[in-house]
């Protein structure tokens, strides 16, 4: 059973998502909150497996909630929810420690897939939003914090990285590229080394910020 904490400042949205999640086996909403402060208290009290967290809320926004929970060592795998397709806060949230993001208007199947993915330790970056991260106005990069260009990726590594950006796992990448899953894991390890990162979220952010895909 995946235990979920649901945070949104709109009661109707919370009730709608809760009702939706109850239609699927293996998922249980164990706590709800309507603002940032209440979100932190709810997570600390319920210790959920996944946090569904609105980006824009009263008192503390979703990014501040992620940062506060991470500072306390209490951040569960977190999915940011947003109404906006080009919300700069999404990138800040991922950098703060969230494991993924998606639009509130996604299909039920996408929402459930995202929850199960992050609960299993994965990252879920909703593909239509991922393409906005490399825009200077969104990434917030500047000359003072610019990172050195990563080591050149092979064509196959770029293929793998493009699919990583879409949020799919190694098995699906292997199927799409007609490779073994072991080969994909080797490519992913090489990508991490060349980009100077140690997880998929950072790899995707680095790739998009540096425009290597």
Question: Which tens digits make up the pLDDT trace of 115-156?
Answer: 998 998 888 876 555 544 444 433 344 433 444 555 788 889
Query: pTM of this prediction?
Result: 0.65
Which residues span the domain enclosing 182? Answer: 141-209
In the chain, the number of structural domains is 2
CATH number at 101 reads 3.40.50.2300
CATH number at 150 reads 1.10.10.10
The reply to whether 125 and 150 lie within a common domain is: no
In sequence order, the 6+-apart residues with CB closer than 8 A to the CB of 176 are 163, 168
Distance CA 45, CA 36 (A): 14
The reply to whether 152 and 77 lie within a common domain is: no
In sequence order, the 6+-apart residues with CB closer than 8 A to the CB of 38 are 7, 59
Residue 60 φ/ψ region, left for φ over 0, alpha for ψ in the -120 to 50 degree band, beta for the rest: beta
The reply to whether 99 and 10 lie within a common domain is: yes
Instruction: Determine the 3-state secondary structure of 171 from DSSP.
Output: helix
Q: Which residue has the tokens 């490779």?
A: 179
Q: Which of 99, 116, 134 is the last residue of a domain?
A: 134
The reply to whether 115 and 34 lie within a common domain is: yes
- pLDDT truncated to tens, each residue of the chain (213 aa)? 999 999 999 888 898 999 999 889 999 999 999 999 999 999 999 999 999 999 888 889 888 999 999 999 999 999 998 876 545 666 777 778 888 888 877 888 889 999 998 998 888 876 555 544 444 433 344 433 444 555 788 889 888 888 887 667 788 889 888 999 899 989 998 988 888 888 787 787 777 666 676
């Amino acid at each position: 059973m995946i235990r979920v904490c649901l945070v949104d400042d709109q009661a109707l949205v919370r009730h709608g998502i809760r009702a939706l999640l109850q239609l699927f086996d293996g998922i249980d909403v164990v706590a709800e909150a309507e603002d940032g402060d209440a979100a932190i208290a709810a997570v600390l009290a319920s210790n959920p497996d996944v946090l569904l967290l609105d980006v824009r809320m009263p008192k503390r926004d979703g990014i501040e909630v992620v940062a506060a929970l991470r500072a306390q060592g209490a951040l569960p795998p977190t999915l940011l929810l947003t109404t906006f397709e080009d919300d700069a806060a999404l990138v800040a949230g991922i950098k703060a420690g969230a494991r993924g993001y998606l639009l509130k208007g996604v299909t039920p199947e996408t929402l459930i897939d995202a929850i199960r993915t992050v609960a299993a330790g994965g990252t879920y970056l909703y593909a239509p939003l991922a393409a906005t991260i490399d825009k200077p106005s969104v990434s917030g990069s500047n000359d003072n914090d610019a990172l050195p260009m990563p080591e050149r990726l092979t064509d196959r590594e770029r293929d793998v990285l493009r699919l990583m950006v879409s949020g799919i796992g190694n098995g699906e990448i292997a199927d799409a590229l007609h490779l073994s899953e072991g080969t994909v894991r080797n490519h992913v390890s090489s990508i991490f080394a060349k980009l100077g990162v140690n997880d998929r979220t950072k790899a995707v952010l680095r790739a998009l910020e540096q425009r290597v895909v």
